[in-house]
Structure 1
Amino acid sequence: MIPFFGEAAAMTAALTWATSSMIFSNIGGKIGAQSVNRGRLLWSITFLTLLHWILEGQPWPHSTTPEQIGWLALSSVLGLVIGDAMLFQAFVILGARLSMLMMSSVPIMGTVLAWFLFDEVLTPVQIAGVALGVGGILTVIMMRKGRPANLEGRNYLIGILCGLGGAVGQVANLITAKYALVGGYSALSAAWIRTLIAVVLIWAIAALMGRVRRTIVACLAPDVRGWLMLGAFIGPAMGIWLSMLAVQNANVGIASTLMATPPVLLIVYEGVVLRRPVGLQAVIGTLMAFAGVALLFLF
């Protein structure tokens, strides 16, 4: 086996998620967060079908029990329909960096909920990780320097709440999906089912609201369609596949920590590449949040 293959896959997954978040944030400002989410889901199910065909030998899953479908449907509604709708709104309001920082609270929330729901005992180091992670996120969101221009007061609060809502949706998605993955059920098959359910629901809602035609026209705009397809491919499709390779070929703690680096990567991108003022407090807070996640998984 190639040395550090799993670690490389985990780091590449983080890069794909950071990149796709920037893409979705940019085009969301042009056509609206929910249009981006609807278009992304259509492309995602297309790419996941191809990926499932290549890796599993058939385009869609089989041998799925009604109970598993029920849990995956609940996971899809909580994570992809409600949670992602809020996350994409956060992308538009806050931008990619702050939105992904909110999403770094997912392992923290998941650890705390697992403590209550599954009686998973937290060690003193993990409790310190939770405190450090929460402290890091609060350090960033309480500062003014580094926020998007003209984002103050009520709008900033709405953006933060949307980002945290997206994180809560992701935690609920992971916990409910856990019940469907018992017995070694394929994570890729589960992702395909969850995405298909989300596509059906979110486009049905768009039809009821009379927004199907508007969404299609927006997603097919010349300055949007290529970016939308690229974001859907490298994020939901390649990111999921790479994350599975990472977990299969590396220590789960190391892989999980590396895959939690998008906020760090994005702050480097904004500060070094785009030369935007992000502030020392934002850098320290982001590193604190990442360190808190690392403590949860590595110790």
Structure 2
Amino acid sequence: MRPEALALLAAACWAVAALFSAPASQRLGAIAFSRWRMLFASLILWGIALASGGWRSLDASAFGLLALSGVIGIFIGDTALFACMNRLGPRRSGVLFATHALFSAVFAWFFLGERLWGWALVGSGLLVAGVMLAIVWGRRGDEQHGWEQTRGRLAVGVALGLLAALCQSVATLMLKPLMASGIDAVAGSALRMSMALLAHGLLLSTGWRGARPLAPMRLRDAGLIFGSAAVAMALGMTLILQAMKHGQAGLVAVLSSVTPILILPVLWLVYRRRPAAGAWLGAALAVTGTAFILLR
């Protein structure tokens, strides 16, 4: 399958997982939610890696880079994203996280020598513009549900969203040379997840109050977190690493940024409210840009 298609599938995984993630994250707190999600994802990924034999592709030379990528992208980035979501909701946190496509395009040009030209450049511009437009103008004036409320200081939520985007970009681009060497994507994801989980365990062991759950885990919470871990982390992140093996890092990042566009029908499904006109226009631009990229 083409790396561009893998990136789009990963974006779809993250959009679907938002449906599972938001309620449990708000109830348990971002750090406790992320810790449980990483535990479930690690168990799933290591089970697959051991069953398939993909763990044999890992060697000592890859350990350090995978571990660092896991700490930056998953421990810091993922936790910051859910802290942002708890404050601003999935829609507004989505527009901030979508900036990882811009970060990735710049970093891929500067550090990897990748450049977007022709229809790929036009398509990327349309796609990113469509994502931003759909989220900024995607709310109807009479929407008052919980996913649209601001909790705490707005500036803190914005800073957390931008931090999550930056960490996602840096952590993913770090792995481009390593994935091209033939590392199994599932085994690589498992090692990254385990290192992030270890960092979370160390944070919890310090006794810091913020690392403790806000509420006790319920069976329903565990089910939601497991679903989020399986769809977003075990499947979505593995698809991104697989796309990195053969695709341009910047282009893969741009295509994976369509998650906020795909969240709009999820919100429509949950709340039975048709997205605003700006959301439809943004979605049309994003689809057009994606077509330019895929047909280039």
Q: Which band: TM-score by shorter chain?
A: 0.7 to 0.9
Asked if residue 151 in structure 1 is aligned to residue 150 in structure 2, the reply is yes
What percent of counterpart residues are identical?
Answer: 26
Match of 1:80 in 2: 74
1:111 pairs, out of 105, 124, 147, with 105
Q: 1:78/1:297 Cα in 2 relative to 1: closer, same or farther (>3 Å)?
A: farther
Given that 1:73 and 1:194 are in contact with CA atoms closer than 8 Å, whether structure 2 keeps it comes out as yes
Listed as ranges, the matches of 1:269-288 within 5 Å are 269-276=266-273, 278-288=275-285
1:201 pairs, out of 199, 202, 206, with 199
Q: Measure how far apart 1:149 and its partner are.
A: 3.9
Listed as ranges, the matches of 1:2-21 within 5 Å are 13-21=10-18
Q: 1:240-299: CA deviations, max 9, x gaps? A: 45667889999x999988765432332112235522364211332344345445545653
Q: 1:40-59: CA deviations, max 9, x gaps? A: 111111111111122226xx
Cα distance in 2 for partners of 1:140, 1:30 equals 28
Q: Measure how far apart 1:107 and its partner are.
A: 3.5
TM-score (norm 2): 0.79
Match of 1:267 in 2: 264
Given that 1:247 and 1:255 are in contact with CA atoms closer than 8 Å, whether structure 2 keeps it comes out as yes
1:24 pairs, out of 21, 25, 31, with 21
Asked if residue 65 in structure 1 is aligned to residue 64 in structure 2, the reply is no
The one-letter code sitting in structure 2 at the alignment partner of 1:268 is P
Q: Bigger CA drift: 31-40 or 235-244?
A: 235-244
The one-letter code sitting in structure 2 at the alignment partner of 1:196 is S
Match of 2:187 in 1: 189
Match of 1:35 in 2: 32
Q: 1:297/1:167 Cα in 2 relative to 1: closer, same or farther (>3 Å)?
A: farther
The alignment of Structure 1 onto Structure 2 pairs a total of residues equal to 291
Cα distance in 1 for partners of 2:254, 2:280 equals 18
Given that 1:104 and 1:289 are in contact with CA atoms closer than 8 Å, whether structure 2 keeps it comes out as no
Cα distance in 1 for partners of 2:41, 2:170 equals 21
Asked if residue 95 in structure 1 is aligned to residue 89 in structure 2, the reply is yes
Q: 1:21/1:282 Cα in 2 relative to 1: closer, same or farther (>3 Å)?
A: same
Q: 1:180/1:10 Cα in 2 relative to 1: closer, same or farther (>3 Å)?
A: closer
Given that 2:46 and 2:187 are in contact with CA atoms closer than 8 Å, whether structure 1 keeps it comes out as no
Given that 1:25 and 1:96 are in contact with CA atoms closer than 8 Å, whether structure 2 keeps it comes out as yes
Q: Bigger CA drift: 261-270 or 282-291?
A: 282-291
Given that 2:66 and 2:191 are in contact with CA atoms closer than 8 Å, whether structure 1 keeps it comes out as yes
Q: Measure how far apart 1:29 and its partner are.
A: 1.3
Match of 1:209, SS state, is coil
Q: Measure how far apart 1:14 and its partner are.
A: 4.3
The one-letter code sitting in structure 2 at the alignment partner of 1:131 is G
Listed as ranges, the matches of 1:211-290 within 5 Å are 211=209, 214-215=212-213, 218=215, 220-240=217-237, 261-276=258-273, 278-289=275-286
Unpaired runs of 5+ residues, structure 1, are none
Q: 1:63/1:226 Cα in 2 relative to 1: closer, same or farther (>3 Å)?
A: closer
Asked if residue 167 in structure 1 is aligned to residue 181 in structure 2, the reply is no
Q: Measure how far apart 1:230 and its partner are.
A: 2.0
